[in-house]
């Protein structure tokens, strides 16, 4: 069955560049970003892992752990890190899962059941769907799923923006409009009456009967 938002993120054990992990235990009580890439030593993936490494402190500020995964073995990840540093200037210090038996890729619906049982002989094209992002909350539920095509590198600032929105809207009865960024006005949800909105937010603007905007809550 395909994974959907609000499903429990499947738990698993795996070898990583920082030793074996049990995924739910590794997440702990915070947030997590699981992001996959089709194959090591490929150009787009090299830039992506470097970009994520450059933003590691920003994810940490949000209480979000980062973990990468591909169907390559852990030993390959370790060798590839030098190329990533050369190309992007950033050291990859977050763990990388070695999923050489395709177990996690199938568990997260990134590869079909008939994809085989080994990464040997697989090309990046064989792993085309393995360029995905899963944001997982402290409750171990999936909050966001993104899957990109082979030729399109991800925008990791957008993933940070999404985390900001998800964390804010989990705490307050608000939603975020298109192109929203931290600190900008938010939308009051339909579950909040006008009277309650005044109590909660102090004031708001009615753009349409069903679209009310207010300042971003800070508490």
Please list the helix, strand and coil fractions of the chain in percent, rounded to the nearest 5, in that order: 35, 20, 45
- Nearest-angstrom CA–CA distance, 171 and 168: 5
Enumerate helices (H) and strands (E) in the chain, giving the number of each. Answer: 7, 11
Spot the catalytic one: 27, 45, 136, 197. Answer: 45
Both tokens of 152, joined, read 């399109």
* CB distance 197 to 214 below 8 Å: yes
45 carries an active-site annotation: yes
Helices (H), 41-193: 43-54, 56-61, 74-88, 103-107, 156-171
What are the residue numbers of the active site? 45
């Amino acid at each position: 069955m395909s994974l959907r938002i609000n499903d429990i993120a499947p738990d698993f054990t795996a070898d990583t560049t920082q030793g074996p992990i049990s995924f739910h235990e590794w997440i702990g009580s915070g947030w997590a970003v699981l992001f996959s890439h089709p194959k090591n030593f490929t150009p787009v993936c090299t830039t992506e892992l470097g970009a994520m490494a450059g933003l590691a402190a920003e994810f940490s500020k949000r209480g979000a752990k980062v973990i990468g995964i591909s169907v390559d073995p852990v030993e390959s990840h370790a060798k590839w890190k030098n190329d990533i540093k050369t190309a992007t200037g950033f050291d990859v210090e977050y763990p990388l899962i070695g999923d050489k038996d395709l177990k996690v890729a199938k568990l997260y619906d990134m590869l079909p059941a008939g994809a085989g049982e080994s990464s040997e002989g697989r090309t990046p094209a064989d792993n085309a769907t393995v360029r995905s992002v899963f944001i997982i909350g402290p409750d171990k539920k999936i909050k966001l799923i993104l899957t990109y095509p082979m030729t399109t590198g991800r925008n990791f600032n957008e993933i940070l923006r999404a985390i900001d929105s998800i964390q804010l809207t989990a705490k307050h009865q608000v939603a975020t409009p298109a192109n929203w960024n931290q600190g900008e006005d938010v939308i009051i949800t339909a579950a909040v009456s006008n009277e309650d909105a005044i109590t909660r937010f102090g004031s708001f603007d009615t753009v349409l009967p069903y679209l009310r905007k207010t300042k971003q809550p800070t508490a």
